Amino acid sequence: MSTAARIEADPNLPIIHLARDFRATAAQLVRAHTDPEIVPLWMGPDRRSMEIDYWDARSGGSWRYVDRTDGVELGFHGCFHEISAQRIVQTFTFEGAPDGVALETMTFED
C-alpha cells in the first residue's frame, strides 16, 4: 500500500523527481524491482501481461521484457548500473523509440 505520489519537475533540467511512501522495508522494495518473478505482478495496468525475456538484476546486468496490453506488443530494455540495499540505478529504453534512453535512480530507506 502506498500514499499519493509527490511529483516535481525541474524547470531548468530534463529531470522529474517522483517520491512515494510505501509500507514496506527497503529490502522488500529492492526485491520488488529485481526479482523477475515479482516484477510482472505489480508493473503496469491489470489488463496487461509482461513476458520477461531476460532479467540479470545485478550491478552491470541487463534486462528486457515485452509488454502486451490490449493486443499491442511493446518491447523495453535497459541496464542495471547499480543495485544495492538502498539504491537502484538503471536505464530504461522503449524499443519503439530507441534514441530516448531514460536514466532512473530509485532510492529506498526504512
pLDDT at 44 over 90: no
Domains of the chain in start order, with CATH, are 6-107 (3.30.530.20)
- Whether residue 26 contacts residue 110, with contact meaning beta carbons closer than 8 Å, is answered with yes
- pLDDT band, very low/low/confident/very high, at 90 (cuts 50, 70, 90): very high
- pLDDT band, very low/low/confident/very high, at 2 (cuts 50, 70, 90): low
Nearest residue to 65 via CA among 73, 76, 57 = 76
Interval 13-38: pLDDT, tens: 888 888 888 889 999 999 999 999 99
- Angle at Cα 51 formed by Cα 108 and Cα 109, nearest 5°? 5
- pLDDT band, very low/low/confident/very high, at 68 (cuts 50, 70, 90): very high
Query: What is d(CA 101, CA 52) in angstroms, rounded to the nearest whole number?
Result: 19
Percentage of the chain with pLDDT > 90?
Answer: 72
pLDDT at 66 over 70: yes
Say what the pTM is: 0.85
Cβ contacts of residue 21 below 8 Å, gap of 6+? 2, 3
Q: What is the pLDDT of residue 3?
A: 63
Query: What is d(CA 107, CA 31) in angstroms, rounded to the nearest whole number?
Result: 13
Displacement of CA 110 from its chain's centroid (Å): 19
Give the pairing type, strands 87-94 and 101-107.
Answer: antiparallel
